[in-house]
Structure 1
Amino acid sequence: MKSTVIRSVLAEVYAADKAPGCSELASSSTIFAILRKAVLRRSDSAAEFEKASRPDLAQKEKNEAELLEPFLPPLLSEAEIDRALREVISEQPQLTSDANPRKVMGLVFKSFYTKVDRSSVDADLVRRRAEALLAGA
């Protein structure tokens, strides 16, 4: 099982290396993103198998996710994400005066992700925290 799981992730990394427009090897952040997606995919599959009353398949998917997790760096905490978002929002005071909330969120995300590597955060948590901070601004 271990070799199959690792081979499948390596195949995804090799595919990223050979993707059109990619002139160099995949960066570490790309590899971490691939790993995170692989873990998430297996966790989601396990949940679906549990709903379908297939605990044997759910356990297999959980085991595969647990095998890949040690290769991932830890995600930034909520406090670290809040700090970076506050910094981004304070650097651009025009963000809070803009009438279009979607445009504001887009600008916040663009600035945030220039400072923070995407592979080191949970994108859903970033979105929720940005919405909360902008609502309070």
Structure 2
Amino acid sequence: MHIHCSDIRSRLQADLKASMKSKDTVTATTIRSVLAEVYAADKTAKDGKVPSTTIFSLLRKAKTRRVDAASRFKEASRSDLAEKEEHEANLLDAFLPPLLSEADIDRVLKTIIPEQRAEGEDNKRAMGKVMKAFYSKVDRSTVDPQLVTARVGALLASS
């Protein structure tokens, strides 16, 4: 089920209410924890509410924390706790739009690199300019930043 960026806040709030009514405490607690981060971010926002892109970013970070925790619990032979963290990560995943694919990232980068790279410029300096140009065209919340960095490095090395 795809959602529009503008209604992620209301969708989180509606799903929280629904999970409370159905006494689904795991879902309610998971959504509540993310909403707490959203409300904390709202307090520092200029107009009192952070944009949906920030909410998606908070959701991705929350999911990553749970995935990392699950792998640490597996290493410690605590499959019960690992399953709980994985379940919460999957709940959060349902709120996230899909990330851009490597091919989509490459397509954007291939238009940017020739514009940004000066003749004979070293890759390190070019990388900063390319990254800045990339993020001016692509919303950070729609990509895996590690993949972007890896692709920029690979494409600069091959050009």
Judge same fold: TM > 0.5, yes or no: yes
Aligned partner of 1:120 in structure 2 is 142
Q: Do 2:116 and 2:126's aligned partners in 1 also have CA atoms closer than 8 Å?
A: no
2:75 is aligned, of 27, 31, 51, to 51
Unaligned runs of 5+ in 2: 1-25
CA–CA distance in 2 between the matches of 1:41 and 1:65? 8
User: Structure 1 length as normaliser, TM-score?
Assistant: 0.93
Higher RCO (C-alpha under 8 Å, 6+ residues apart): 1
The alpha carbon displacement at 1:54 in A equals 0.5
Which residue matches 1:102?
124
For residue 98 of structure 2, the aligned residue among 74, 88, 113 is 74
**RMSD of aligned Cα (Å):** 1.0
State the Cα deviation string for residues 95-119 of structure 1 (Å, max 9, x = none): x5213x3322111110000000000
* TM-score of the pair, normalised by structure 2: 0.81
1:10 aligns with 2:35: yes
Which residue of the partner structure matches residue 7 of structure 2? none
- Matching residue within 36, 43, 50 for 2:60: 36
Q: How many residues align?
A: 133
Q: Do residues 83 (structure 1) and 107 (structure 2) align?
A: yes
Q: Output the CA distance in 2 between the equivalents of 1:84 and 1:26.
A: 27
Superposed displacement of residue 90, structure 1: 1.7
Within the alignment, does 1:62 sit opposite 2:86 as a pair?
yes
Q: For 1:55-88, what per-residue CA distance to the aligned partner results, in whole angstroms no more than 9, with x for missing partners?
A: 0100000000011111000100111000111111
Counterpart residue type for residue 91 of structure 2: L
Identity of aligned residues (%): 56
